[in-house]
């Protein structure tokens, strides 16, 4: 049920176009995969400050369904929350021809090199580590 609500939210954002003719490049939507943490709230605020709409997926299945259907401009994901493994999500999306071109960013408070290397090995485009300076964070998203 939650996935359908998120897809409807995406369609609401794109309400001037029929779902079969969605052109994400003309709409600025990013997907945030995360929980209710302060980190997620910070990231959501930073993305919105750039003029993007934000849809938050809280589960792996929601994130995969939305990525395949709505093809967001980018996906920003926490490494782990609510039994979701961000590395697995990134790998699945990068292996799928329908979603492998969507930029994928990890956010983390972990400066552990093996985690960063694993993030890049699974296909992430960037791995952004706290502490986050707002200007640098936004620049990385836009790069």
pTM exceeding 0.85: no
Q: Give the number of residues written for the chain.
A: 143
What average pLDDT score do residues 105-130 get?
A: 86
- Cβ pair 123, 90 in contact under 8 A: yes
Taking the CA atoms of 128, 141, 137 and 76 in sequence, report the sign of the dihedral they define: negative
Mean residue pLDDT of the chain comes to 78
Name the residue among 108, 104, 58, 105 with its Cα closest to residue 84: 58
State residue 16's pLDDT score.
Answer: 41
- Token pair in block for residue 48: 């919105």
- Cβ pair 43, 34 in contact under 8 A: yes
Most confident of 3-17, 18-32, 85-99, 110-124: 85-99
High-pLDDT (> 70) share of the chain, %: 78
Which pLDDT band holds residue 91 (cuts at 50, 70, 90)? Answer: very high
Which pLDDT band holds residue 13 (cuts at 50, 70, 90)? Answer: very low
């Amino acid at each position: 049920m939650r996935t359908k609500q998120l897809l409807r939210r995406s369609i609401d954002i794109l309400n001037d176009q029929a779902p079969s003719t969605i052109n994400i490049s003309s709409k600025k939507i990013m997907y945030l995969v995360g929980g209710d943490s302060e980190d997620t709230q910070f990231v959501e605020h930073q993305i919105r400050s750039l003029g993007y709409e934000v849809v938050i997926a809280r589960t792996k299945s929601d994130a995969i369904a939305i990525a395949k259907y709505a093809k967001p401009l980018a996906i920003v994901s926490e490494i782990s929350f609510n039994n979701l493994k961000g590395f697995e999500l990134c790998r699945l999306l990068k292996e799928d021809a329908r979603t492998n071109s969507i930029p994928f960013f990890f956010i983390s408070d972990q400066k552990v090199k093996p985690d960063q290397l694993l993030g890049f090995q699974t296909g992430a485009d960037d791995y952004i580590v706290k502490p986050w300076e707002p200007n640098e964070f936004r620049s990385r998203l836009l790069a």
